[in-house]
Chain A
Amino acid sequence: SAVISQKPSRDICQRGTSLTIQCQVDSQVTMMFWYRQQPGQSLTLIATANQGSEATYESGFVIDKFPISRPNLTFSTLTVSNMSPEDSSIYLCSVGTSAKNEKLFFGSGTQLSVL
């Protein structure tokens, strides 16, 4: 399994500001993903973080709102921009530990509250 460090673990932010979440993995991984988990809900994929190229976003998520960086095979960031209370959620990074993205492991999550 991969050891995934995510920070911050939680934050309380003001409406209109931005927050950058960092995800560090202890080994090189091909696939890194960012998920959102709204209170009491399931896991929704925001985007796939691609090393060396632009992230691939899922329907309903756009780069201007959730810019993602992936400078190398062990690190990625997700920024939540121009936040509103509707962005209050848990954000999780995850990595697949095989070539076919099996054994998906999650970071500890970032609990975001927007006032």
Chain B
Amino acid sequence: GENVEQHPSTLSVQEGDSAVIKCTYSDSASNYFPWYKQELGKRPQLIIDIRSNVGEKKDQRIAVTLNKTAKHFSLHITETQPEDSAVYFCAARNTSGTYKYIFGTGTRLKVLA
């Protein structure tokens, strides 16, 4: 079935360093890839997204890259800050029926001050 793999499951970085989270999807019909940030006890928040006709998208310290051929997409956070500490989820949305999302397993990011 459709699947989204996400790595790593946990990631610790020093404040100011960069963090990279990677996802791989299986459904070649997927064409929209959002990233969500979930702080403890809060709802998932959409932080950035990319469509399959775009290779890269940036929003300040956050960027997402997509390799459609390899079915890989990645989240890059530069100049990390303690408030970036959270669980991050990638997702892939298919193009059939109800346009369902398949979520990755999540990455717990800790930014050490």
- Name the A residues within 8 Å of B42 (CB-CB): 108
Residue in B closest to A4 when the chains form the complex, CB atoms: B43
Interface centre among B34, B99, B104, B106 (most CB of A within 10 A): B99
CB of B11 to closest CB in A, whole Å: 16
Asked if A62 is at the interface (CB within 8 A of a chain B CB), the reply is: no
CB pair A56–B98 under 8 Å, yes or no, is yes
Asked if B93 is at the interface (CB within 8 A of a chain A CB), the reply is: yes
Taking beta carbons and an 8 Å cutoff, which residues of A are in contact with B?
Answer: 31, 41-45, 48, 56, 92, 96, 100-109
Interface residue total, chain B, C-beta cutoff 8 A: 20
- Name the B residues within 8 Å of A42 (CB-CB): 89, 103-106
Q: Which B65-101 residues have a C-beta within 8 angstroms of A?
A: 89, 91, 93, 95, 98-101
Asked if B29 is at the interface (CB within 8 A of a chain A CB), the reply is: no
- Name the B residues within 8 Å of A45 (CB-CB): 100-101
- Report the bound CA distance from A31 to B98 in whole Å: 8
- Name the A residues within 8 Å of B44 (CB-CB): 43, 92, 106
Asked if B112 is at the interface (CB within 8 A of a chain A CB), the reply is: no
- Report the bound CA distance from A42 to B36 in whole Å: 11
- Report the bound CA distance from A108 to B41 in whole Å: 9
